[in-house]
């Protein structure tokens, strides 16, 4: 089955720890994205990548880091510098270029206490 | 930011009725897309309308786009309980960067 997967579904961490969220796709998409969603809110873009070994900051990149070493994978690290990391994190992918839809993973709910 | 805003924030209707939700945005776009999200899940793409299109249909969905007013509407006809979800508009301006609105929460009462 083609699709985009995120793991784990739920993640709990203590304040001050870095944590890495996994995102994998087998859709052969060049573009990948990370969004953050807070309760009752829309999606805000953290980072996006249009090609391997290249990525750009979105609107709320502070306290986050990413890598894009493989086309299929776009992991997101939430660092201890992120002041309010508890949120629902969504990964998406799409064909690179204009006028293409995004395909979303099921999301990871991160709780930091 | 050109993040869009949906209106209303919440909508509750009876099964069989039509549901209309609106989206406004701030800057020029290449296209506008509508997505659906069931509680605690990822988003699912519903329909894409390009900036040179004014209306598009897909099954029970009808989308309009008015670029002069920077607004779009999504109409769901003959709603079903299974349509209960949050609906988001997303705009694409520069290639491959999307901005999502704040969402409309739709409840369809059986």
User: Band of the pLDDT at A1, cuts 50, 70, 90?
Assistant: low
Dist CA B14 CA B18 (whole Å)? 9
From the candidates B36, B38, B42, which should be mutated to test the interface with A, based on the most A CB atoms within 10 A? Answer: B42
Dist CA A82 CA A39 (whole Å)? 18
Touching check for A43 and chain B: CB below 8 Å? Answer: yes
Contact (CB, 8 A) for B62 and B46: no
Quick check: B31 and A107 CB within 8 A? no
Q: Find the mean pLDDT for residues A15-43.
A: 94
**pLDDT at residue B80 above 70?**
yes
User: Band of the pLDDT at B95, cuts 50, 70, 90?
Assistant: low
Task: Give the residue from chain B lying closest to A6, CA to CA.
Answer: B42
Touching check for A34 and chain B: CB below 8 Å? Answer: no
Which pLDDT score is estimated for B82?
96
Q: In the predicted model, what is the mean pLDDT of chain A? A: 94
Which pLDDT score is estimated for A42?
86
- Beta strands B31-37 and B85-92 are antiparallel
Nearest 10 degrees: Cα torsion B45, B51, B53, B54: 90
**pLDDT at residue B60 above 70?**
yes
**pLDDT at residue A40 above 90?**
no
Q: In the predicted model, what is the mean pLDDT of chain B? A: 93
Residue A4: name the closest of B43, B70, B50, B5 by CA.
B43
Which pLDDT score is estimated for B3?
67
From the candidates B41, B100, B104, which should be mutated to test the interface with A, based on the most A CB atoms within 10 A? Answer: B100
Token digits for B76? 């769901």
Quick check: A109 and B31 CB within 8 A? no
Contact (CB, 8 A) for A45 and A94: no
Token digits for A96? 């690179």
CB neighbours of residue A61 within 10 Å: 17
The burial of A60, by beta-carbon neighbours within 10 Å (0-12 exposed, 13-18 middle, 19 or more buried), is given as middle
Which pLDDT score is estimated for B4?
73
Which pLDDT score is estimated for A97?
85
**pLDDT at residue B5 above 90?**
no
Q: Find the mean pLDDT for residues B32-44.
A: 94
Dist CA B56 CA B77 (whole Å)? 14
Q: Which of residues 13-42 of B touch A (CB under 8 A)?
A: 30-31, 33, 35, 40-42
């Amino acid at each position: 089955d083609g699709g985009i997967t995120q793991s784990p579904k739920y993640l709990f961490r203590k304040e001050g720890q870095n944590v890495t969220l996994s995102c994998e796709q087998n859709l052969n998409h060049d573009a990948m994205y990370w969004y953050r969603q807070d309760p009752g809110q829309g999606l805000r873009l953290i980072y996006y990548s249009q090609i391997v070994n290249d990525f750009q900051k979105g609107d709320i990149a502070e306290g986050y880091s990413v890598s894009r070493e493989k086309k299929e994978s776009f992991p997101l690290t939430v660092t201890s510098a992120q002041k309010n990391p508890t949120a629902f994190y969504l990964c998406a992918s799409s064909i690179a270029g204009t006028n293409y839809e995004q395909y979303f993973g099921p999301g990871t709910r991160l709780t930091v206490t | 930011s050109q993040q869009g805003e949906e209106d209303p924030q919440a909508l509750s209707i009876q099964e069989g009725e039509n549901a209309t939700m609106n989206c406004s945005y701030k800057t020029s776009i290449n296209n506008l897309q509508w997505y659906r999200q069931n509680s605690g899940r990822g988003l699912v793409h519903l329909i894409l309308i390009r900036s040179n299109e004014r209306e598009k249909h897909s099954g029970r969905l009808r989308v309009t786009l008015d670029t002069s007013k920077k607004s779009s509407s999504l109409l769901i006809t003959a709603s079903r309980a299974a349509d209960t979800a949050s609906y988001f508009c997303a705009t694409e301006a520069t290639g491959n960067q999307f901005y999502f609105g704040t969402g409309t929460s739709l409840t369809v009462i059986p």
